[in-house]
Structure 1
Amino acid sequence: MVTTSGDWSNPRPNLLDIPAQFSSNLLGHFREHLAKCSEGMAKGKNYSETAGVSGQDERLKWGFGSTSKRNFADSHESELMNIFGQAATRLPFARISVAAPNVRANVDATEVEKQFQASSEDWAGQSGNAENVLGHHLIETADKTRREFRFRGMGDDSVLQTIHLKDTRQPLERAVDSFYSRFFPLGYPNSVSEGYLVYSQYRAVQHFASAVLSVLSTQSLLFAAGLRPTPAQATIVSWVLKDGMQHIGKLICSSMGARMDSEPKRWRIFADVMYDVGAGLEVISPLCPQHFLTVAGLANMAKGMALVSARATRLPVYSSFAREGNLSDLYAKGEAISTLSNVFGLGVGIQLASTVCATIQGKLLIAPVLSAIHLYSVAQEMRAAPINTLNGQRTAMLVADFLKTGEVSKPVDLRYRERLILPVGLQQESGNVRVGASLLKTVSKPSVLSELKKSFGNERFLLNFSDQRTDLVLHQSATGEDAVRGWLLAAYACQLAHKTDQRSDGHGDDSHGFGLKKAAALRDAYEKTEQSLPALLEGLRENGWHTHLFLEGSGYRAVW
């Protein structure tokens, strides 16, 4: 996208994220572009061009003389994309800007040079040289190092010169930039999906509340055991008390991995609920000291279940934010946020344990508040995550939206509509489809199975229509596209059966015999499916959905 802007009166570079290690290919293209633009620069034309670099969303900006001319900028749109769309995307990241100071009669070239705060001037072309002012400046920033790259000359005779710059940023600006570089992925916000900031904010609050609660619960455990520890001792001893029954909790949850793949956000919330259950048992343990071992064991078992669930669902959630293959960077920065929040939380917990929560009454008052903050934060954190894998709930919403609007929803469109706590029911708009049921429960007798196999031929799914729902049975080798095809077919069959019902008796009644009407509408439903399925699948792929697999959780698949 190329746009024009007015006078660029401030020659100070505006730092923007683009690749900063220049290959000879990129330098050659840049020199060629400068040569082509030399005529326009000599005439004092002024425009600001912004070119999106393909695959990375970075931008470059140029500034020239005094008057804006849109037609001059528009004529270079395809050229700019060709220059920076390929050579730049293969290069590492750093913060860089491209800028040229304005050229006016009343601007002293020496003053223009001072804007860049050069630490030395040991390069050719001093401030009095007009060509020096007309040349383009590229400012590269990597951590605390800033360098200026300047092109002198035009065409094949242009020379790239380098000079180190002083860091003229204000302390607050440096602190903010340092914070972002340490706690947010490289290239943020362009390198992550929508919702990552909300996710990170609530993740910090969640870990803070969890850390405070852990100090209070551990101190209560030690009181129940007959000890009188200081708050600092409670933090240390917590490492000893985490074993034992915790391993049993880990084993219980380790067998539910497939369900966690299908519903990572639901199971992440489950993990924090179990953690708070464990912390709550530890808080009330002084009230029943005679049952200390039992209460402490159950608390650690709950925390063991929480630990496995949280770790198993972490990567699917992070993967939903990774737009540029930067999963490791996302994971590292997410753990940095968690660690920082935990450190602050432990400090606040120690203070509370020494004051307000020094008694069991104080803990019983504060612990529910911390738990509420903790669970609310993790719920909002999970709602912000745009999971892009197909499961029963998300596929039902996708098909329903497609039938209603003709458009394919994006992962970010569904994130706040997913049910994360309450059970997921059937959706009438998408055909009341139930996926993953056992074949023994779906098919009542062998003759029905034989008839279904004959009806669906070489499909990698079977649809068994009943009055209240449609059971979708997936073949062992079925992909996400097969599941979407079967779901769309079932939805069209249900839609056509409703129309038949309305024509026959004036109202849509899902009473006895409606399943037979859906089966009778199968041929027409197939025709509608063949017409609209390509657009649906193409839209899913374009919007970032993973159509190569379908995650049914604990559901069954069959081989026939």
Structure 2
Amino acid sequence: MIELEETTGSTVRRFGERPGRQQTRLSSASVLAAARDIFLPAGYPRSVSADYVAYQTWDSIQAFVSGISFLIANRAVLAALGVGDAAASSTGALLLKIVQEAVGRMATVAFAWRWGSVLEQDCKTYRFAADVVLTGAIACDCISPSVAGGSTLAVVFCLSAVLKAVCTVMAQGSRAALSLHFTDPEHGSISDVAAKDASQETVVSLAGLLAGSAVVPHLTTARTTWTTLAALSVVHLAANYRAVRAVTLRTLNRQRAALVFSHATDPAGPAPPLLVAPADAAAREVVLERDGRLRWRGRPIGHAALGSFAAVEALRAPDVGLAELVDICGSAGFLLWYAGRPGAVDVRIALTEPTVAHAELRAWAAALFVARLEAIGDAGGDAASDAEKGRGGARKTRTVRAALAAVDALFADGVVARLAAAGWVVDRPMIAPTAAPRVRVIGR
């Protein structure tokens, strides 16, 4: 009789055999089973997404390398604090560390307050940016021994603390979002995925520290130290970049929504529609993308932001009244206006109440189509007058109306259902900030 593991079908235990034979068969399998239970989520592989292994492999490589870098940085910090120097003051070193810790904790609170609500939307960007910032913090630690004591050293230590605080907030927030992505909604547990990720990183980082203990004693000059640190930083960032590139997110944030809508239709004329699947979008995503940048099939054509009505009002043309703006957008679920030149359009959006189904997706598609129509109008030699091409509202009104009509046609054609069938999560878009205000039109 054998006992099978439910998800993989592998043998867990055999019954009814001679003790010696059973022990021999279990000895090799028990080690692998124990390692799987300790480091992989329960129910693996059914409990996680298909991109889990690729991400964790590259993430483990970067964790191993960063463990060695941390050891080099810690040695530099100890030297800067006066370890081994009989003239150094332990009290002065303690006060310096207190100042560093205080600055770091205040930076943690400030950054989490300002950016915490957007980490999930662009988790791949912030996961990579976290290690870029961490590389800067390690560099600050390593230059500290060559800095004169006193206030200059305190500034370097505080800068390192701020960078580490920013890295911590970005890394923790983006990791939480990635854990949610990796967890299978039916068979997985997000807490288990997050816990096993921490276990994997702990063991790999420990291995990095052990490897670093063999490397650091040989770094006896500044040249060898910085050369080794530079090489480790390159490997660290390259592995982290490959890790986030391996992730295939199914939620529609600003960049992925623009990528999908730019291939789904063309408001400037007939074009064969192409439905971009999550895997295709992951291959085309830009990891370090400017927030809100609008790209038409890879080419930058403008920028958009979704927020308060004050930003929309600031761009509204003088000859377009507020009532006319509301009439133009109708019951779309948002208000929109833009400024700038073709190819570098700046679009501002404000959501309205009552809410409209898929208002965030419709708003971002409208912003993209406005920028597209502006770019095509300029390239095709629009016959509009010079006055209209300035801040005149007549041409912009036509452009906004045409963009809204293209959005209505696209959504009436069932693009939401087709996106869902392609694997996209359409009921939880990540376009607007978590606390985005909404405008209520009174007396309409």
- Give the shorter-chain TM-score range: 0.7 to 0.9
The verdict on how the C-alpha distance between 1:16 and 1:285 changes in structure 2, with shifts beyond 3 A counting, is: same
* Aligned position for 1:377: 239
Tell me the equivalent position of 1:287.
146
Equivalent-residue separation in structure 2 for 1:470 and 1:289 (angstroms): 47
Show the counterpart of 1:127.
none
Match of 2:351 among 469, 475, 480: 475
* Structure-2 residue corresponding to 1:333: 196
Question: SS in structure 2 opposite 1:189?
Answer: coil
Instruction: Name the one with the larger helix percent.
Output: 2
Does structure 2 retain, via aligned residues, the 8 Å contact 1:205–1:377? yes
Which one has the largest radius of gyration? Answer: 1
Residue 298 of structure 1: which of 147, 152, 159 is its match? 159
In structure 2, which of residues 49, 57, 65 is the aligned counterpart of residue 209 of structure 1?
Answer: 65
Distance in 2 separating the partners of 1:259 and 1:489: 22
Q: Sort the Cα spacing of 1:247 and 1:16 in 2 relative to 1 into closer, same or farther, 3 A.
A: same
User: 2:308 aligned with 1:449, yes or no?
Assistant: no
Matched, 1:536 2:404: no
| 2:304 pairs with 1:434 | yes
The number of equivalent residue pairs is: 397
Separation (CA, whole Å) in 1 of partners of 2:165 and 2:376: 52
- Which of 206, 222, 225 is the matching residue for 1:363? 225
* One-letter amino acid of the counterpart of residue 304, structure 2: R
The match for 2:332 is 459
Q: Secondary structure at the match of 1:387?
A: coil
3-state DSSP class of the match of 2:105? helix
For residues 277 and 503 of structure 1, what CA distance do their matches in structure 2 show?
Answer: 46
- Which piece of structure 1 moves more, 342-351 or 381-390? 381-390
Deviation per CA, 1:120-149: give whole Å up to 9, x if none.
Answer: xxxxxxxxxxxxxxxxxxxx63xxx3459x
User: Is residue 125 of structure 2 the alignment partner of residue 266 of structure 1?
Assistant: yes
Residue in 2 that maps onto 1:245: 103
Q: 1:498 to 1:278 in 2, by over 3 A?
A: closer
Alignment root-mean-square deviation, CA: 3.8
Identical amino acids, percent of aligned pairs: 20
Aligned to 2:89: none
SS at match of 2:46: coil
In the alignment, the residues of structure 1 paired with residue 128 and residue 74 of structure 2 have an alpha-carbon distance, to the nearest angstrom, of 22
Q: For residue 504 of structure 1, report the CA deviation from its aligned partner.
A: 8.9
Would the alpha carbon gap of residues 95 and 442 (structure 1) be closer, same or farther in structure 2, given more than 3 Å must change? same
What SS does structure 1 have at the residue aligned with 2:349? strand
**CA shift for structure 1 position 228:** 3.0
CA contact (8 A) 1:439 1:558 kept: no
Secondary structure of the residue aligned to 2:70 is helix
Matches of 2:119 and 2:33, distance apart in 1: 36
Classify the secondary structure of the residue corresponding to 2:358.
helix
Is the CA contact (8 Å cut-off) linking 1:261 and 1:553 kept in structure 2?
no
Q: What's the offset of the Cα at 1:396?
A: 0.2
Match of 1:559 in 2: 439
- Asked if structure 2 preserves the Cα contact closer than 8 Å seen for 1:263 and 1:553, the reply is no
CA distance in structure 2 between the aligned counterparts of 1:319 and 1:313, rounded to whole angstroms: 10
SS, match of residue 128 in structure 2: helix
Partner residue, 1:188: 44
Kindly state the Cα deviation for residue 470 of structure 1 after the two structures are TM-superposed: 7.0
Is the Cα–Cα contact under 8 Å of residues 480 and 549 in structure 1 kept in the other structure? no
Task: Report deviation, 1:340.
Answer: 0.9
Quickly say closer, same or farther: Cα 1:168–1:397, change in 2 above 3 A: farther
Match of 2:336, SS state, is strand
Q: Take 2:80 and 2:27, find their aligned partners in 1: how far apart are those partners?
A: 49
What amino acid is aligned across from residue 545 of structure 1 in structure 2? V
What does residue 34 of structure 1 align with?
Answer: none
Distance in 2 of aligned mates of 1:16 and 1:479: 50
SS in 2 for 1:198: helix
Residue 215 of structure 2 aligns with an amino acid whose one-letter code is L
Q: Which has the larger displacement, 341-350 or 441-450?
A: 441-450
Q: 1:453 to 1:178 in 2, by over 3 A?
A: same
Given that residues 389 and 547 in structure 1 are in contact (C-alpha distance below 8 angstroms), is that contact kept between their aligned partners in structure 2? no
Matches within 5 A, 1:45-444: 95-96=8-9, 141=12, 145-146=13-14, 166=22, 169=25, 173-228=29-84, 243-254=101-112, 255-290=114-149, 291-324=152-185, 325-354=188-217, 356-403=218-265, 406-423=273-290, 425-429=293-297, 434-436=304-306, 438-444=311-317
- Greater RCO (Cα-Cα under 8 Å, separation 6 or more): 2
Q: Is the 8 A contact 1:274 1:305 kept in 2?
A: yes
**In structure 2, distance between residues paired with 1:217 and 1:454:** 60
Offset at residue 344 of structure 1 (A): 0.4
Query: Who is 1:87 aligned against?
Result: none
The gaps in structure 2 that reach 5 residues or longer are: 86-93, 266-270
Q: In the alignment, which residue of structure 1 is the partner of 2:268?
A: none
Partner of 1:547: 427
Q: Is the CA contact (8 Å cut-off) linking 1:264 and 1:316 kept in structure 2?
A: yes
